[in-house]
Amino acid sequence: MPNHLHILIHIKEDKDSINKVLANGKRFMAYEIVRRLKDNNKTDLLEILKSNVSIAEQSRNKKHRVFEPSSDIKLCHTKKFVTQKLEYIHANPIRGKWNLAPNHIEYQHSSASFYELNIENPKVLITHYEELL
């Protein structure tokens, strides 16, 4: 989706908290987004991202606000809940106003082809959720 993303993340119990993982993920994605905007001379978008930085953040040398400071975390403890969320994630890009691909399998940023056709994405390592339950 152009303005948000959905992901399922598995974190081992002895590793970092979900909040730390999300914060680091957002930080590194923001660096990459800003870099690509600069490389493509998208000064209009960079100005919008700059204008969203609060005075307090500016004092800490923050230059761009790429992400909203919130997330909607759902803990998934059962196979039923995981599959429900995965089905929602796979269907979301082709529903309603998005219509980002002819079908959910063809949406390039989805794991649907991995789960339904066993096609691995060369750019992203996906572990089948059943291996983690």
> Above 80 in pLDDT, residue 101?
yes
Q: Is the pLDDT of residue 26 over 80?
A: yes
Whole-model pTM above 0.95? no
**What are the distances in angstroms from CA 44 to CA 38, 40, 69, 79, 115?**
10, 11, 22, 44, 38
- The answer, yes or no, to whether residue 14 has pLDDT greater than 80, is no
Element (H, E) at 62: none
Q: Is the pLDDT of residue 43 over 90?
A: yes
pLDDT digits (tens, 9 = 90+) for 62-94: 999 999 888 888 888 899 999 999 999 999 999
Q: Which helix (H) or strand (E) element contains residue 59?
A: helix 55-59
More confident residue, 105 or 132: 105
Q: What's the one-letter identity of residue 30? A: A
59-64 mean pLDDT: 94
pLDDT score at 107: 93
